[in-house]
Structure 1
Amino acid sequence: MTASRKVELVEFGDPDVLKLVRRDVPPPAAGEVQIRHKAIGFNFIDIYQRKGVYPLPLPTGLGFEAAGVVEAVGPGVSDHAVGERVAYMNAGVGAYSDRRNVPADKLVKLPESVSDEMAATLLFKGMTAQYLLRRTHKVDPGDVLFVHSAAGGVGQILTRWATALGAIVFGSTGSPEKRETALAAGCKEVLDLDDPQWPEAFLAASGTKARVVYDAIGRATLLRSLDCAAPFGLVVSYGASSGKAPAIDPELLNKKGCLFLTRPSVFPHNADPATFRANAADLFDAIAQGHVKADIGARFALDDIAEAHRAAEERRVKGTILITP
């Protein structure tokens, strides 16, 4: 057994319910790899799970993504070796820890061009952008895209990568001070969602409707996002930061221009190990070319995980939060 610290949740609630405990980690079982974490990613879904918005069976750990070094391999594992640098973003919750055992088929090897910090802060968000740009809609040069929350973690990656692919990106933010961040990511123009006429403002700025509208906000924006999509265009509802998106009558899609509407997720797109590794290679190539960058706004030690959650909820951090063991 190897001792490890981990964050444990025994009840849902405010950040103070997050408790750092010491637990023994057994040797990796068949098909597993034991990883010593070097960098741990933070995502807003962690907050939803802590609060019970997306309830998990209790007690539970938290955290979906991390990067680190292989310390031991279990029986039957032949594609990973001790000392190897790896990362994951879909091995179940529990990344808020010093070390853990992870199924080998959930890991991806890290190239030299991708640091531990880059992997931990970019894998989950970058793989989300990857499927949105490559699978949900294969972005072509000249495509007009409208990206909500363009100054957010996924929004910035999505905007930078889409711009590198030749798309023309318009964005939205929830506050004027985030406008410069979205513009720096590559948006041609940024609309303020506090303006009740933001759909009209988008159409005035773009001069045309969007081939794709990427909506991570949900309840507050989705119905009006339909007004921003071109005939036969696509509206992608991939998040719900304002709450669950409203139900939509299919006939409304017809009336708005024979629109397509989808609600995808990063995990089904990467459920197959070979597909996951191919998608990760695509992301790593985009990182190497500079199309995707790590924008680390704050670093918190694992001991200060409650403060990390408070800072995120209070919107005190511009950029991504990184957790260090």
Structure 2
Amino acid sequence: MKAVIINKTGGSEVLELKDIQLDDPKSGEVLIKNEAIGLNYIDTYHRSGLYPVELPSNIGIEGAGVIEKVGPDVNDFKVGDKVAYASMPIGSYSTHRIFPTKKLVKVPEGIELENVVTLMTKGITTFYLLHKTYPVKSGETILYHAAAGGVGQILCQWAKSLGCTVIGTVGSDEKIEIAKANGCDHVINYSKENFAERVKEITNGVGVPVVYDGVGKKTFDGSIECLKVRGTMVSFGNASGPLDPCNVTKSLAPKGLYLTRPSIAHYTTTREELDEAAGKTFEMFITKKFNLKIFKKYSLSEIVKAHEDLEGRKILGPAVILP
């Protein structure tokens, strides 16, 4: 069995593929043979130390595979079940792992496991953003940053299926057509244009009711400017770097704005919430409310390259790791 381990935080060079040995699963746990692993930006936060982990540590929060052993008192899962997960404890960058069943979901027939690991984190993120954090309504115009990225590929199409007009931003001209294919009605290259001014033009000076911002430092102030009175700023990532402290009086008070910093963990706290989120995500995929194209596949031995590509913004859509 092999797993990617970090003994210190830092750049992609700290990722090491090592041989490991696992004990048998304990009560409420199963042993999973990973068939596909998700590559997500949060993995770089754990690796860099932005989100602290206890060292030495495994890496990765998303995976899908087949159960090979079950621990005592496991009644809802059995050997041979196809399962997926997207949560702590981290450690999905591995050929095999022990995982608690309370955070597992069964994979329905008809979905390849390679697709599942593009759906769990990115799909469930889309679900909670559009249906829970700020429940969008048909006819609303919304702004989503990084519309050519992994979450963007799903969210923009999902939002269109709900009747929204979608404004998407990208960081280069080559990503414009990708964002349009993802369902964006308007695409802004924020490296060339002032996206806040363009959003005001598109909305006739009113602004949007919600901004979904996973870019972070580079787009925060402009996102605030894009919002209408009593709008909602949804900050859920730091692709361009950690956010500066928010000046509530300056940023939020003038328009009575709402600011939230959600994560999957906040919306999958119970078995019922997890099943609802995963079930809706699988349903939207099976009924083709959004199309999904895996941009690139990496092996575990290529994990350093995968992180370099991810942070270099070279991955235009979901990418997976195959152990």
Map 1:51-200; keep pairs closer than 5 Å: 51-195=48-192, 197-200=194-197
Alignment correspondent of 1:272: 270
Kept after mapping to 1: 8 A contact 2:153/2:317: no
Query: What is the distance in 2 between the residues matched to 1:48 and 1:102?
Result: 21
Q: Deviations over 1:73-127 (max 9, x none)?
A: 1000000011010000013110011111100111000001322011112210111
Secondary structure of 1:145's partner? Answer: strand
Alignment correspondent of 1:262: 260
Alignment correspondent of 2:38: 41
Note if 1:229 corresponds to 2:227. Answer: yes
Query: What is the distance in 1 between the residues matched to 2:133 and 2:315?
Result: 30
Query: Which moved further from structure 2: 51-60 or 107-116?
Result: 51-60
Kept after mapping to 1: 8 A contact 2:213/2:219: yes
TM-score (normalizing by structure 2): 0.95
Cα distance change, pair 218–314 in 1 and its aligned pair in 2 (3 A) = closer
Secondary structure of 2:3's partner? Answer: strand
Deviation at 1:40, TM superposition (A): 0.6
Secondary structure of 1:54's partner? Answer: coil
Cα distance change, pair 227–314 in 1 and its aligned pair in 2 (3 A) = closer
Query: What is the distance in 1 between the residues matched to 2:315 and 2:228?
Result: 35
Quick one: which amino acid aligns to residue 204 of structure 1? E
Deviation at 1:254, TM superposition (A): 5.8
Note if 1:50 corresponds to 2:47. Answer: yes
Deviation at 1:177, TM superposition (A): 1.2
Map 1:172-321; keep pairs closer than 5 Å: 172-195=169-192, 197-207=194-204, 208-252=206-250, 255-321=253-319
Deviation at 1:255, TM superposition (A): 4.9
Query: What is the distance in 2 between the residues matched to 1:99 and 1:107?
Result: 15
Runs of 4+ in 1 over 6 A off after TM superposition: none
Q: Deviations over 1:144-188 (max 9, x none)?
A: 101111111112211110000101110111111111111111111
Query: What is the distance in 1 between the residues matched to 2:259 and 2:47?
Result: 29
Alignment correspondent of 2:21: 24
Kept after mapping to 1: 8 A contact 2:61/2:90: yes
Gaps of 5+ in 2: none
Query: What is the distance in 1 between the residues matched to 2:299 and 2:256?
Result: 49
Kept after mapping to 2: 8 A contact 1:226/1:256: no
Secondary structure of 2:57's partner? Answer: coil
RMSD (CA atoms): 1.5
Gaps of 5+ in 1: none
